[in-house]
C-alpha cells in the first residue's frame, strides 16, 4: 500500500515537472503538409501541442499581410494557434491564416467523419475558441495575443473563401451530399492600448 502511494506520488511529481518544463520551453504542434496523403490519412490532424513560446508583440498590427511573406522551411506561412481548454492545459495546433490588410481571419474545415459531429465539436480547437475566444498565435517566431469571433455571415465567409464555404457533391443518382464545411474566425488583438499615452 505504501509503495503504491509512493509510486503514485512519483508519477504525479514527474508529470508536474514535465508540464512546468513545457510551460517554460513551449511544445509546438506537429506539422503535416495539408497537401500530403499523410494529412488525409491522419483524418486531417497533425498532432496538437501545448504552450507556445516566443516574444510577445505589444504593438498594434495595422496590416496583417506580412503573414503571406513568412516562409518557414517547414510550415510555410501557416501559423500556430494556442487555445484554452476547460482543464487548464493549452491545446495548440497549426492553422491557416487569411490576412486582409488590417483584418485577420483564421479558417478551418471539416470533412469526412468530422461532419458527423455538430459544430463546434468537429475539432477540439473549434470547441475551445467557442467556449473561450482568447487565443495566442505564433507567427514567424513571435506571439500575438488576441480574441476571435466566429463569422456567422455566410456571404462574408464566401467572400473570404472565394466560393461557397459548404462543399456539396452530387452522386450518380442526383442526390446532394455535404462533403465539407469551412468556418472563419475574425481576429482582434488583445492587451493592446487603444488610445496610447497622448492625452490629446
Domain regions of the chain by residue span: 28-189
Assigned C-alpha cell, 4: 503504491
Q: Which residue has the cell 504593438?
A: 59
DSSP 8-state class, residue 72: B
More confident residue, 4 or 117: 117
Domain 28-189 classification at class level = mainly beta
More confident residue, 52 or 178: 52
Mean pLDDT lowest among 35-39, 80-84, 115-119: 35-39
Those residues whose C-beta lies under 8 Å from the C-beta of residue 115, and which sit 6 or more positions away, are 122, 178, 179, 180, 181
Of these ranges, 45-49, 80-84, 116-120, the one predicted with the greatest mean pLDDT is: 80-84
| pTM reported for the whole predicted model | 0.78
Those residues whose C-beta lies under 8 Å from the C-beta of residue 97, and which sit 6 or more positions away, are 64, 67, 77, 78, 79, 104, 105, 106, 107, 137, 139
With contact defined as beta carbons under 8 Å apart, do 148 and 186 qualify?
A: yes
Q: How confident is the model at residue 13 (pLDDT cuts 50, 70, 90)?
A: low
Assigned C-alpha cell, 184: 472563419
Percentage of the chain with pLDDT > 90? Answer: 38
Q: How confident is the model at residue 35 (pLDDT cuts 50, 70, 90)?
A: low
Q: Is the pLDDT of residue 195 over 70?
A: no
Amino acid at each position: 500500500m505504501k509503495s503504491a502511494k509512493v509510486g503514485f506520488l512519483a508519477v504525479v511529481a514527474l508529470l508536474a515537472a514535465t508540464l512546468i518544463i513545457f510551460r517554460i520551453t513551449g511544445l509546438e504542434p506537429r506539422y503535416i503538409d495539408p497537401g500530403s496523403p499523410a494529412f488525409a490519412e491522419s483524418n486531417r490532424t497533425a498532432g496538437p501541442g501545448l504552450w507556445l513560446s516566443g516574444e510577445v508583440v505589444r504593438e498594434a498590427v495595422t496590416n496583417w499581410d506580412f503573414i503571406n511573406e513568412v516562409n518557414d522551411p517547414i510550415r510555410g506561412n501557416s501559423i500556430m494557434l494556442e487555445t484554452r481548454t476547460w482543464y487548464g492545459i493549452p491545446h495548440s495546433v497549426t492553422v491557416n491564416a487569411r490576412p486582409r490588410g488590417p483584418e485577420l481571419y483564421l479558417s478551418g474545415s471539416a470533412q469526412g467523419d468530422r461532419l458527423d459531429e455538430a459544430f463546434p465539436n468537429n475539432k477540439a480547437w473549434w470547441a475551445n475558441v467557442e467556449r473561450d475566444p482568447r487565443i495566442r498565435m505564433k507567427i514567424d517566431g513571435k506571439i500575438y495575443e488576441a480574441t476571435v469571433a466566429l463569422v456567422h455571415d455566410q456571404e462574408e465567409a464566401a467572400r473570404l473563401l472565394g466560393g461557397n464555404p459548404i462543399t456539396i457533391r452530387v452522386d450518380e443518382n442526383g442526390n446532394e451530399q455535404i462533403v465539407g464545411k469551412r468556418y472563419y474566425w475574425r481576429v482582434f488583438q488583445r492587451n493592446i492600448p487603444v488610445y496610447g499615452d497622448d492625452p490629446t
